[in-house]
Amino acid sequence: MIHVVGFVDTDASATSPRCIGSAHRQFLGKKPLRQKAALTALMVFALGLVTVSTASPVGSVEAGLACLCVLGRLRVSDAGRIKFIDQEPLFDRGALVGGFPEAAAVSTKTAKSKEKKTIFLPIVVPMFGLSGLNWWQAFVDARRSLGMAELGSATEGEFFAILADGVPLLPRRLRDGLWSAQPAKADEVTAMLLRLLASVGCEAAALKEVASHSMEATLLSMAAKHGVDLRTRRLLGYHVVKGESALNYGREHLGVPVHELEKLLDAVRAGSFLPDATRARRRPLERGEGVKSLRQQFEEWQGCSVEEFMRRGRSNSAESTKPGNFLSS
């Protein structure tokens, strides 16, 4: 039997209340989207240790890219659009105690217009992460040892940096052992991240909701729990703020947000703020409870000292160590 509903043409059919209502009901029946889980503070601590202590240069580059995305609040795609990176070290009595790699990227996800696609997005990343170690220098040294292209500097000329292809921080590896000019894709970085976290003892259940997007979300999630205001968090995440974008700000305008980020990292390192605890237990000092530093928490989790953990990584020869086998003997 043929039912005649009185539609004149396809346009009338598509815009009829009956079709719109039916499509709406079907849309409401779709599986709800769930954001990927942020990494825990212990995971970030472990990634920093792996970067500086693994005997495998490839493993160091992989873990270093993860540190860059976590501490830089970066999507994998935006990390692949970085054009140059400068360093701003901080010395105390001749010793390096901190600092920031300062990068610039173009055509990022938040750049919608053609004008904004040619404006540098300022990226400021803490050189010392939750581990308190200089993961950045280890990352740069590992890339150099593998023969990867050197990262450009702003002093080489910003105009030419816009026109030139960016240097992939983690290039795809070709079959002949050489490195591609193309950066690793998000799904490849997800597999890399899961492999690294599994190698340091993270259980499979804790990794079910982890993906490459987890790295970008980690510090922004911690900042929200710590009480950092929404505008500061949006600037840290390079999002639009009241019609303005972080693309419109120079690096100096990120000073206050980055200062808030440093205070957050200090609190997590000291153990006075526990971002992965329940809401009632995130601030142990306010409850009159004892405080364990993140380092102490890590040592309890691993059942060994940080020095022993790092020694295991260094004891593996560069020839026998494979990414994902950091703790193998």
Q: How far apart are CA 247 and CA 113, in angstroms?
A: 11
Per-residue pLDDT for 160 more than 50?
no
Contact yes or no for 236/261 (Cβ under 8 A): yes
- H/E stretch holding 109: none
pLDDT of 55 reads: 86
pLDDT of 304 reads: 95
Tell me which of 152 and 42 has the higher pLDDT.
Answer: 42
Tell me which of 95 and 78 has the higher pLDDT.
Answer: 78
CB atoms within 10 A of CB 284: 16
Instruction: Report which of 301, 325, 300 is spatially closest to residue 312, judged by C-alpha positions.
Output: 325
Contact yes or no for 247/119 (Cβ under 8 A): yes
Tell me which of 9 and 82 has the higher pLDDT.
Answer: 82
Domain membership of residue 201 (yes or no) is yes
Domain membership of residue 235 (yes or no) is yes
Beta bridge partners of residue 100, listed in sequence order:
88
pLDDT of 23 reads: 79
- The mean per-residue pLDDT over the stretch 311-328 comes to 52
φ, ψ of residue 238 to 5 degrees: the values are 60, 35
DSSP characters for 237-268?
A: TT--BTTB-GGGS-GGGGHHHHHHHHHHHHHH
pLDDT of 82 reads: 78
Q: What is the pTM of this model?
A: 0.80
Domain membership of residue 297 (yes or no) is yes
Domain membership of residue 53 (yes or no) is yes
pLDDT of 208 reads: 92
- The mean per-residue pLDDT over the stretch 254-264 comes to 90
Q: What is the pLDDT of residues 24-56, one digit of tens each?
A: 777 777 666 567 889 999 999 999 999 999 988
Q: How far apart are CA 42 and CA 305, in angstroms?
A: 14
Q: How big is the CA angle at 180 (ends 134 and 218), to the nearest 5 degrees? A: 40
DSSP characters for 184-244?
A: PPHHHHHHHHHHHHHHTT--HHHHTT--HHHHHHHHHHHHHHHT--HHHHHHHTT--BTTB
pLDDT of 1 reads: 42
* Residue 88 amino acid letter: E
Domain membership of residue 200 (yes or no) is yes
- Dihedral angle, C-alpha 138, 143, 147, 151, nearest 10 °: -110
pLDDT of 110 reads: 52
Its domain, for residue 274, covers: 41-315
Domain membership of residue 16 (yes or no) is no
Burial grade of 186 (CB within 10 A; 0-12, 13-18, 19 or more): middle
- Into how many domains does the chain fold? 1
Domain membership of residue 109 (yes or no) is yes
pLDDT of 233 reads: 92
Torsional class of 271: left (φ above 0), alpha (ψ -120 to 50), beta (otherwise): left
pLDDT of 81 reads: 76
Question: Residue 106 — pLDDT band, cuts 50, 70, 90?
Answer: low
Q: What is the pLDDT of residues 77-86, one digit of tens each?
A: 888 777 777 7
The residue with tokens 């974008």 is 245
Report the half-sphere exposure of 7 (CA within 13 A, side-chain side).
13
Q: What is the pLDDT of residues 188-201, one digit of tens each?
A: 999 999 999 999 99
Tell me which of 160 and 178 has the higher pLDDT.
Answer: 178
What is the average pLDDT value for the chain, to the nearest integer?
A: 80
pLDDT of 120 reads: 66
